[in-house]
Structure 1
Amino acid sequence: MPDFSHLNTLLVEPVISQLSGLFDLNGRVGVVFLLLSYAVAYGLFRLRKRRGLTKAPSFWQFLGGHRVHFHRSALLDYRYYLVRGILNVALLVPIVGAVDPYILRSGDCLAFFTNLWGARPRVDENLSLSLLYGLGVFLVSDFKNYWVHRAFHSRWLWAFHKVHHSAAVLVPMTASRVHFVEKLAANLAGTILLGAYAGSFWYVCGGEIGAYTLFGVTWLIFIFNALAVSLRHSHVWLSFGPLVEHVLNSPAQHQIHHSDAPRHFDKNFGINLSLWDWIFGTLYVTRSTPEALRFGSGERGDEGYTSIYSLIVTPFVTTARKLRNTGGAQGLGQGTSQAPHS
């Protein structure tokens, strides 16, 4: 009898794990948050229908209908979501495992400060302290996400992030249309920064503190994921208004980020908070009236990202060509006639 255990480990188990991830509250692509988002979308549909602000004959059409959800770009997103499970096992896990021994974690930082300044008296853990610690975890993580996202819009990393921006239509599963190189960079940056933050916080408190959670998820992450997170990758316009959008990132703001119009390039890098965009000059606020948008990277070459193979391999090919011809006129930033973005 042939031994299929290796095949099962590399293919079957990762795909099953990805499918089960749809019920994981730690991720943004999940059934619970999708249902919450569509509940909000249905409320918007009824409101706009009553006010005559939408021509959609049904809620399904309001969401985009077959034109969006069965577009070849959307179908590619569905397939790529499953393949990402295989990539995680085949590539991410081995790479992270090889790098992991060289990364300072929270325990290492705690030990460093203890050796440097001596042990501190233990502070009794309470709800307020757990909430505060969770707030810090959220802020550090969101700050990290802003800068990793912005970095991948730069000249040398854009080819990998273009995988995400090449989507011609937005569906909730587009959130998972991320190249594994970008995912690896985000994971490593998060491990380093959150390790430093946790170690510092624990040292001040004289020992480990746990973050308060809701249903096993850090409380602020759960709250923000519940705020119609799935509508960010959709064709449903939901603006929080100029005032709120200086702090909180709305679905409309992220749709602006996916726009192929040059006036929208390099705007709204924030994931949960638009506060970082406001501080660092990349903020674009929206209003209740929808803007006419077309999605894509805003440059020629999106047609080269229409298969699983191209989503994985094309960024490496593009970057290699760029390295061979660094003096050439073609850049990796958005826009065919623009200089690469910063």
Structure 2
Amino acid sequence: MPDLSHIHRHFTELVISPITNQLTGLFDLSGRVGVVFLLCSYAIAYALFRFRRQRGLTQATSFWQFIGGARVNLHRSALLDYRYYLVRGILNVALMVPIVGIIDPYILRSGDYIAFFTHLWGARPQVGENLGLSLLYGLGVFLVSDFKNYWVHRAFHSRWLWAFHKVHHSAAVLTPITASRVHFVEKLAANLAGTVLLGVYAGIFWYACGGQISAYTLFGVTYMILLFNVLATNLRHSHVWLSFGPLVEHVINSPAQHQIHHSDAPRHFNRNFGINLSLWDWMFGTLYVTQRAPEPIQFGAGEHDDARYSSLWSLIVTPFVETVRKVTMARNQRVRPSDRPARNRHR
């Protein structure tokens, strides 16, 4: 007879606890999909609603309607986002943690770089902890992470990785929870790239300072991340149009810019890959600035693809099936340039 207590313990560890952690994570400041950040974003949205209503710039008669109402927040795509948010907790425990745990020991860490530079050039004098260094180090961590996010995001718009990123773009409507509609393969790639780049940065910075420097944090969160999460970050995945104007949008990514990125119109393809900063888009030629007046946008990856990514199972499995099919076709036949679409979301 099976040991029911043993089965129950494993079920709790693999299913119940991950889902519980995802729910309690809504009250955590370590991620942007948290109640505090959601309230900040919706407070800004409410101020926009009042401002535009007083000036006759919106047809919405209530704030609920202004943020999309049931048409958006209870849309079938949004309901799928909510379910996938909970399932991601299980995927993280079942797949992400073991894979990162196996690979991580073989990736150089900051301490390895400190030892390397010390052996090469000798030990540096101890500078010690101070607020200025902590602020500078935290700024560097933010910039390196955002730079990494730009290139990982851009890479997943390429031909061979697009099927995995299509999970995110197949959302027909946008809600803050859509930010978590990311395939675990993409999340794994971002985590590993971050481990390498942040390890290099930390090692160089710590060696220059003669020892470890801690990033300045507020409420346990790096201050730059906290600042950007407070400044309407969650409105990027919403139907609330908020443009920062051409000048600011060359540096900081506005909600309107990211909504343009989710557009299924060919003129918007391969634009605005930046997460927090649009500086990288400006530097590398992928910037699209917006105006105060909203552009008509339809979200999604195209009706055919949206339909194929319409269930929990398809969000997880379809990218593998599509990628294998693409690789097989590439092996069996040579595609002429004229056979390819003139414009596509991937390059």
TM-score interval w.r.t. the shorter chain? Answer: over 0.9
Corresponding position: 1:240 with 2:244: yes
One-letter code aligned to 1:119: A
Distance in 2 (CA, whole Å) between partners of 1:306 and 1:35 is 29
8 Å CA contact retained: 1:262, 1:298 = no
What are the residue-to-residue correspondences of 1:107-256 with 2, within 5 Å?
Answer: 107-256=111-260
Shift in CA distance, 301/337, structure 1 to aligned 2, threshold 3 Å: farther
Q: Report the more deviating stretch, 292-301 or 182-191.
A: 292-301
Q: Which runs of 5+ in 1 are unaligned?
A: none
Shift in CA distance, 243/280, structure 1 to aligned 2, threshold 3 Å: same
One-letter code aligned to 1:51: R
1:25-79 C-alpha deviation (Å, 9 max, x unpaired) = 1211111110000000000000000000101010000000000000000000000
Distance in 1 (CA, whole Å) between partners of 2:344 and 2:176 is 31
Q: Which runs of 5+ in 2 are unaligned?
A: none
Corresponding position: 1:68 with 2:72: yes
Q: How far 1:251 sits from its partner (Å)?
A: 0.3
What's 1:266 paired with? 270
8 Å CA contact retained: 2:111, 2:203 = yes
Distance in 1 (CA, whole Å) between partners of 2:197 and 2:119 is 20
One-letter code aligned to 2:309: Y
What's 1:280 paired with? 284
Shift in CA distance, 330/47, structure 1 to aligned 2, threshold 3 Å: farther
What RMSD over aligned residues (CA atoms) do the two structures have, in Å? 1.5
TM-score, normalising length from structure 2? Answer: 0.95
Distance in 2 (CA, whole Å) between partners of 1:336 and 1:232 is 29
What's 1:13 paired with? 17
What's 1:2 paired with? 4
What's 2:343 paired with? 338
8 Å CA contact retained: 2:266, 2:345 = no
Correspondence for 2:91 among 72, 84, 87: 87
Shift in CA distance, 187/164, structure 1 to aligned 2, threshold 3 Å: same
One-letter code aligned to 1:57: T
Distance in 2 (CA, whole Å) between partners of 1:309 and 1:80 is 10
One-letter code aligned to 2:206: W
Aligned residue for 1:325, secondary structure, equals: helix
Q: How far 1:337 sits from its partner (Å)?
A: 5.6
One-letter code aligned to 1:319: T
One-letter code aligned to 2:124: R
8 Å CA contact retained: 2:263, 2:269 = yes
8 Å CA contact retained: 2:128, 2:211 = no
8 Å CA contact retained: 1:160, 1:181 = yes
What are the residue-to-residue correspondences of 1:27-46 with 2, within 5 Å?
Answer: 27-46=31-50
Q: How far 1:298 sits from its partner (Å)?
A: 3.5
One-letter code aligned to 1:283: L
Shift in CA distance, 43/330, structure 1 to aligned 2, threshold 3 Å: farther
Q: Which runs of 4+ in 1 moved over 6 A?
A: none
Distance in 2 (CA, whole Å) between partners of 1:306 and 1:94 is 28
Q: Report the more deviating stretch, 101-110 or 260-269.
A: 101-110
What are the residue-to-residue correspondences of 1:250-329 with 2, within 5 Å?
Answer: 250-298=254-302, 300-326=304-330, 327=333
Shift in CA distance, 126/21, structure 1 to aligned 2, threshold 3 Å: same
Distance in 2 (CA, whole Å) between partners of 1:78 and 1:125 is 42
Q: How far 1:330 sits from its partner (Å)?
A: 11
